[in-house]
Amino acid sequence: MEFDEKELRREISYAIKNIHGIRTGLFTPDMAFETIVKKQVKKIKEPCLKCVDMVISELISTVRQCTKKLSQYPHLREEMERIVTTYIREREGRTKDQVCSI
């Protein structure tokens, strides 16, 4: 994901001019800031969701590696892996909901 600082500055400038209209102001209006931030957040939503997926995959892989050490106890190993994986999957949904609500 690339970030173009010049484009962002130009966008901020236009937003401030549009908010101020013909009158000038001393402070940057909140609406201009919110507009710019919302656009930037939309740009990073997909990479954030991909990051969540990558973290989940890594966690599940780690769980599997850890439970291999319990190979002497196959039922315990399966149950631990199932419980921890279920817990991770439940949190995955909540995490993605949080990312989407930003």
Q: Is the pTM of this model over 0.75?
A: no
The string of pLDDT tens digits covering residues 62-98 is 999 999 999 999 999 999 999 999 999 999 999 999 9
Higher confidence at residue 15 or residue 58? 58
Work out the percent of the chain whose per-residue pLDDT is above 90: 53
Local confidence band at 7 (pLDDT 50, 70, 90 cut-offs):
confident
Q: What is the DSSP string of 38-95?
A: HHHHHHHHHHHHHHHHHHHHHHHHHHHHHHGGGTTSHHHHHHHHHHHHHHHHHHHHHH
Question: Is residue 80 a contact partner of residue 68, using CB atoms and an 8 Å limit?
Answer: no
What angle, 0 to 180 degrees and rounded to 10, lies between the N-to-C axes of helices 30-67 and 74-101?
A: 170
Higher confidence at residue 54 or residue 7? 54
State the Cα–Cα distance between residues 69 and 97, nearest whole angstrom.
34
Model pLDDT, residue 26 = 56
